[in-house]
Amino acid sequence: MVVTGLGATTPLGGDMASTWAGLLAGRSGIGRIEEEWAAGSPVGIAGTLAVEPTEVLDRVQARRMDRCQQIALVAAREAWADAGAPDVDPERLAVVIGTGTGGTLTMIRQNDVLESSGMRRMSPLSVPMLMANGPAALVSIDLGARGGAHTPVSACASGAEAIALGLDLIRLGRADVVVAGGTEACVNPLVLAGFAQAKAHSTRNDEPERASRPFDVDRDGFVIGEGAGVVVLERAEFAAARSARAHALLAGAAVTSDAHHITAAHKDGQVRAMRQALATAGLTPLAIEHIHAHATSTPLGDLVETESITEAIGVHPAVTATKSMTGHLFGAAGAVGALAAILAVRDGVIPGTQNVDALDPRVKLDVVTGRPRRGALTAALANSFGFGGHNASLVFTPAP
């Protein structure tokens, strides 16, 4: 399957080019939360958007959407334009946009209105703005896609699972073009307090840009972030017929579940996801030269993934973890990670993982740290795992 369009808005930039440049520069998009509610909180840092979506979207249109919907639309429009706005039968065009939490900002704000002013003061758009399928629905409306608008909700694996579903839709003959990715905007006191109470979030408030440190021996949790990442996938024959430029090929994908624990990751499910993704791509583990790790910077999660990669693939691939710069984008994380893997394959350069002052001695992987590593790649694998035991792995190879 051909990847013809890329779009993103992240803590590093308001589009794909600036996000990629930030990753290669090793720049951090994580900073202090300036809102009043964060004062005195055990968690006061986050990766917030570099460019506000209201600077890009029509003001009236933006007011009718939750923030996660706004940024999904921004990223999808960029990806669609990057693909050359394919002339496709609307009934052969599908949308798959995943999210972990949906419109939590709207839910919190409208609940505040309800409690302070009563039901009659609530927005009549409350439900369309908070529903999890809102981003996919709005993107499908914007593009006129009538081949289905789907919403995987699988926690932090949502964006990657959306791309995997896009591949399935094309391979099953249900679509010629799929706009797929993930979105998340949940930097709010409810979500932060929940993760703080669970001891999952970093409390390194005094140095936010160094708080997310995957694979480092002193890592103490992830850093919440917001953003969206979207790709345009096309059936190879369709893309060739219109002489479309391809960034890379989505050669394989797999989705598994652990059936183990609601929050604790399990090696078995991750190993099966990677092995099944390789099988669908028709590749052996030795073909994988680069892995974009899920690696959120949690003490346990990074070790489980290390063991999974070692068992499923080996220790030979060059591994990177870009959450060290963007923070953890939850439902968008898998999509943005996929974008980084696509560009690594296309450009022959792997961004370095930042803040690895001392690699955890239990991590036996070839972790790229500091500066980018350059060199042609035959294949890359991108991992994404989520609460609930959701696992998704994607395999990308160079475009012919």
**Same-domain check for residues 66 and 197:** yes
Helix (H) or strand (E) holding 309: helix 299-312
Taking alpha carbons only, the member of 139, 131, 7 closest to residue 61 is: 139
Which sign, positive or negative, has the C-alpha torsion 211, 212, 218, 220?
A: positive
pLDDT tens digits, 241-298: 999 999 999 999 999 999 999 999 999 999 999 999 999 999 999 999 999 999 999 9
Taking alpha carbons only, the member of 399, 276, 278, 281 closest to residue 345 is: 399
**Same-domain check for residues 169 and 258:** no
DSSP designation for 99: -
**Same-domain check for residues 142 and 269:** no
- Burial zone of 39 (CB within 10 Å; 0-12 exposed, 13-18 middle, 19+ buried): exposed
Backbone angles phi and psi of 290, in degrees to 5: -145, 140
Domain C-terminal end among 197, 213, 242 = 242
Angstrom distance (rounded) from CA 322 to CA 354: 8
Angstrom distance (rounded) from CA 214 to CA 231: 25
Angstrom distance (rounded) from CA 50 to CA 89: 35
For residue 248, being part of any structural domain is answered with no
Backbone angles phi and psi of 252, in degrees to 5: -165, 160
What integer pLDDT is reported at residue 40 of this predicted model? 77
Residue 10, Cα to own-chain centre: how many angstroms? 10
What integer pLDDT is reported at residue 39 of this predicted model? 84
Taking alpha carbons only, the member of 158, 169, 140, 30 closest to residue 102 is: 158
For residue 220, being part of any structural domain is answered with yes
Angstrom distance (rounded) from CA 18 to CA 339: 13
pTM of the model: 0.97
**Same-domain check for residues 195 and 299:** no
Angstrom distance (rounded) from CA 322 to CA 215: 12
For residue 51, being part of any structural domain is answered with yes
pLDDT tens digits, 140-182: 999 999 999 999 999 999 999 999 999 999 999 999 999 999 9
Domain C-terminal end among 184, 215, 242 = 242
**Same-domain check for residues 268 and 348:** yes
**Same-domain check for residues 218 and 290:** no
For residue 192, being part of any structural domain is answered with yes
CB count within 10 Å of CB 366 equals: 15
For residue 290, being part of any structural domain is answered with yes
Beta strand spans in the chain (E)? 2-9, 31-32, 45-46, 93-98, 149-150, 177-184, 227-234, 248-257, 290-292, 318-320, 349-350, 366-367, 373-374, 380-386, 390-397
**Same-domain check for residues 230 and 257:** no
Domain C-terminal end among 184, 214, 242 = 242
For 309, the domain range is: 253-398
**Same-domain check for residues 237 and 296:** no
**Same-domain check for residues 267 and 322:** yes
**Same-domain check for residues 270 and 357:** yes
**Same-domain check for residues 261 and 234:** no
For residue 162, being part of any structural domain is answered with yes
**Same-domain check for residues 369 and 261:** yes
For residue 193, being part of any structural domain is answered with yes
Backbone angles phi and psi of 373, in degrees to 5: -110, 130
Could you list the active site residues? 156, 294, 328
CB count within 10 Å of CB 241 equals: 11
Which residues in the chain land under pLDDT 50? none
Q: What is the CATH number of the domain that holds 38?
A: 3.40.47.10
Total domains present in the chain:
2
For residue 247, being part of any structural domain is answered with no
The amino acid present at 261, given as its one-letter code, is: H
Q: How many CA atoms lie within 13 A of 83 on its CB side?
A: 31
